[in-house]
């Protein structure tokens, strides 16, 4: 069967007559193949879906189906997809893999949420914690319920990874990474040269002020509602904010990281960014202007159901996906 499938793929690309014959052997009659204006469509669609979701060419029920898009929901439950998608999400939310697996909380929690069909927003606001146990080959990373959790943002490995090195303990790195991950904020540092004034005074200079004090995402302002870093030698601890509401996100009065993340998750931009992640996974790019209709349908789907599977399914089931 493997050799036949390989030949079938060659035939489909070689000419309409042979493509029609290949299709008739796989499931239809020769008369149906001759009447079908595009007899290789189902095979191409099956491979397109399998490669997009699983990273491999189609096999099994997907390969033999006359309507591969009807099997999208099954693909969304495939453990290969779940692991692959979670790795993709981790790559979008970190600049590089963590030094230790538990630092990649986005991967571990994404995998847990998609496996359990939990709301996608729980990746950021769910009551979870990411911890590691054991050593060497026996070391495992665990996702556990934690009433004080905030997605993976309060897990100790993530806190340490994005604590930053601001002189007074402000977590400017975290203040950027949180909106980057939740709503897709993109900023590029203008300078990080040795000897540059990285104090609050230096950050208020014209080259830095726009990102640190002026924009809705103003990093210095956002960091005021996060815990502060305290270092004593190799020991790092985090001191909670003072609990007083601060002007954050261009007009909101917020007092801590939970209120910050919840406000971001409740915004329309969270839905838009979620669908851009879905497009990126399936298409390898963001949406085009001509795809506005399916993108809007994606936003409506995740808003209604809460799951990232709804977003991915809406895109993959659209007729244009297999054209």
pLDDT confidence of residue 202: 83
Residue 203 has pLDDT above 90, yes or no: no
Return the higher-pLDDT residue of 33 and 118.
118
pLDDT confidence of residue 194: 52
195 phi-psi bin (left φ>0, alpha ψ -120 to 50, beta other): left
Residue 26, in any domain of the structure: yes
Residue 144, in any domain of the structure: no
pLDDT confidence of residue 4: 27
Q: In the predicted model, what is the mean pLDDT of residues 258-272?
A: 98
Residue 196 pLDDT class (50, 70, 90 cuts): low
Residue 104, in any domain of the structure: no
Residue 127 has pLDDT above 70, yes or no: yes
Cα dist from 272 to 201, 215, 216, 312, whole Å? 35, 20, 18, 13
Q: What are phi and psi of 252, to 5 degrees?
A: -90, 145
Residue 31 has pLDDT above 50, yes or no: no
Q: Hey, which of 100-104, 188-192, 210-214 has the most confident mean pLDDT? A: 100-104
Which among 257, 277, 243, 311 has a CA at the least distance from the CA of 76? Answer: 311
Return the higher-pLDDT residue of 218 and 35.
218
Residues 56 and 293: their CA atoms lie apart, in Å, by: 28
**Please, what is the angle between helix 308-317 and helix 105-115, to 10°?**
70
Residues 255 and 184 in one domain: yes
Residues 11 and 112: their CA atoms lie apart, in Å, by: 41
Which among 94, 278, 242, 247 has a CA at the least distance from the CA of 181? Answer: 94
Q: In the predicted model, what is the mean pLDDT of residues 213-232?
A: 94
pLDDT confidence of residue 37: 64
Residue 150, in any domain of the structure: no
Model confidence pLDDT, tens digit, residues 137-195: 889 999 999 999 999 999 999 999 999 989 899 999 999 999 999 999 999 877 655 55
Residue 271 has pLDDT above 50, yes or no: yes
Residues 168 and 171: their CA atoms lie apart, in Å, by: 9
Model confidence pLDDT, tens digit, residues 283-323: 999 999 999 999 999 999 999 999 999 999 999 999 999 98
Residue 318 structure tokens: 């659209």
Residues 284 and 171: their CA atoms lie apart, in Å, by: 32
Q: What is the mean pLDDT of the chain?
A: 87
Domains contained in the chain, number: 3
Domain end position, chosen among 75, 104, 128: 75
Residue 136, in any domain of the structure: no
Residue 111, in any domain of the structure: no
pLDDT confidence of residue 201: 82
* pLDDT over 70, % of the chain: 85
Residue 181, in any domain of the structure: yes
Residues 284 and 233 in one domain: no
Residue 67 has pLDDT above 60, yes or no: yes
Q: In the predicted model, what is the mean pLDDT of residues 245-255?
A: 96
Cα-Cα-Cα-Cα torsion 145, 172, 91, 150, nearest 10 degrees, comes to: 10
pLDDT confidence of residue 193: 54
Residue 25 structure tokens: 């052997």
Residue 77 structure tokens: 């439950």
Domain end position, chosen among 27, 60, 75: 75
Residues 234 and 316 in one domain: no
Q: In the predicted model, what is the mean pLDDT of residues 225-240?
A: 94
Site of tokens 């009065």: 253
pLDDT confidence of residue 252: 96
Residue 125 has pLDDT above 90, yes or no: yes
Q: Which domain holds residue 312?
A: 268-322
């Amino acid at each position: 069967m493997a050799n036949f499938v390989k030949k079938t793929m060659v035939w489909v690309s070689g000419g309409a007559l042979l493509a029609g014959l290949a299709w008739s052997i796989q499931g239809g009659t020769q008369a149906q193949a001759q009447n079908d204006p595009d007899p290789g469509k189902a095979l191409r669609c099956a491979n397109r879906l399998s490669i997009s979701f699983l990273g491999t060419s189609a096999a099994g029920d997907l390969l033999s189906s006359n309507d591969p898009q009807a099997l999208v929901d099954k693909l969304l439950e495939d453990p290969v997809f779940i692991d692959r998608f979670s790795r993709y999400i981790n790559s979008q939310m970190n600049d590089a893999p963590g030094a230790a697996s538990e630092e990649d909380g986005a991967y571990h929690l994404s995998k847990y949420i998609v496996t359990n069909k939990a709301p996608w927003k729980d990746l950021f606001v769910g009551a979870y914690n990411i911890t590691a146990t054991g050593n060497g080959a026996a070391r495992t990373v665990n996702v556990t319920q934690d009433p004080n959790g905030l997605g993976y943002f309060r897990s100790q490995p993530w806190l340490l990874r994005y604590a930053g090195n601001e002189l007074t303990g402000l977590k400017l790195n975290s203040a950027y990474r949180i909106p980057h991950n939740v709503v897709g904020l993109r900023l590029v540092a203008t300078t990080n040269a040795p000897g540059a004034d990285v104090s609050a005074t230096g950050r208020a200079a014209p080259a830095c002020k726009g990102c640190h004090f002026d924009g809705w995402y103003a990093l210095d302002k956002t960091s005021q509602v996060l815990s502060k870093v305290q270092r004593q030698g190799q020991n790092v601890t985090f001191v909670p904010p003072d609990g007083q509401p601060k002007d954050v996100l261009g007009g909101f009065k917020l007092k801590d990281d939970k209120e910050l993340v919840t406000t971001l998750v409740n915004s329309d931009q969270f839905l838009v960014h979620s669908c851009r992640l879905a497009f990126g996974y399936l298409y390898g790019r963001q949406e085009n202007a001509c795809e506005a209709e399916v993108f809007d349908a994606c936003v409506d789907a995740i808003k209604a159901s809460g799951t990232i599977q709804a977003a991915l399914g809406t895109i993959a089931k659209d007729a244009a996906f297999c054209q």
